[in-house]
Amino acid sequence: MGVHYIDAVEDRSYDPNAEYFKVRTPEGKRYILRSDRETGEWTLQSGFDGAELLARPGIELVTVDPTTIRKADSKIAGCERCRNYELDIPFSFVIADVLEKHGAFDFILSEAGHCPNCNGELTEKTLVEPQGGIEVKATSRTK
């Protein structure tokens, strides 16, 4: 699972069912993203430098809004920066639990999460410790 940061939206277009965004990453790569107007689902369209991401069939891109990120933040007790023992649950599993989405998803965080214990920045790959009583379903993800 990976976070893909967007440095700039270079162009935007519409059709009756979707919005399309030509975006540039901090590394200078360009992608075309499609946002379905009815479902809100994001998909990567062909073209530009998208081949490396398109090589992972069946992965659905899901944008995670700040409210959901804050809710996921509240469900963790600490992160790999502030815990002295080995953790094995990535923050993306907590996000998946909050969104009730399990399977082949890549989450696009609209902003970084923050550990409630040390205030360290969280990406979807940051290892975390869920608070007691939180069930986080670990599913296998294909890359």
Tokens describing residue 97: 């639990």
Tokens describing residue 34: 């499609």
pLDDT at 135 over 60: no
Residue of 33, 8, 4, 31 whose CA lies nearest to 20 = 33
CB 140 within 8 A of CB 92: no
List phi, psi (to 5°) of 64.
-105, 120
pLDDT band at 120 (very low <50, low <70, confident <90, very high): very high
More confident residue, 18 or 139: 18
| Global pTM value | 0.56
More confident residue, 36 or 115: 115
pLDDT band at 117 (very low <50, low <70, confident <90, very high): very high
In angstroms, rounded to a whole number, what is the distance separating the alpha carbons of residues 44 and 103? 17
Place of tokens 């809100």: 40
Q: How far does the chain reach from its first CA to its final CA, in angstroms?
A: 7
In angstroms, rounded to a whole number, what is the distance separating the alpha carbons of residues 83 and 123? 16
List phi, psi (to 5°) of 40.
75, 5
Given strand 127-130, what is the order of strands in its sheet?
76-79, 127-130, 89-90
More confident residue, 67 or 56: 67
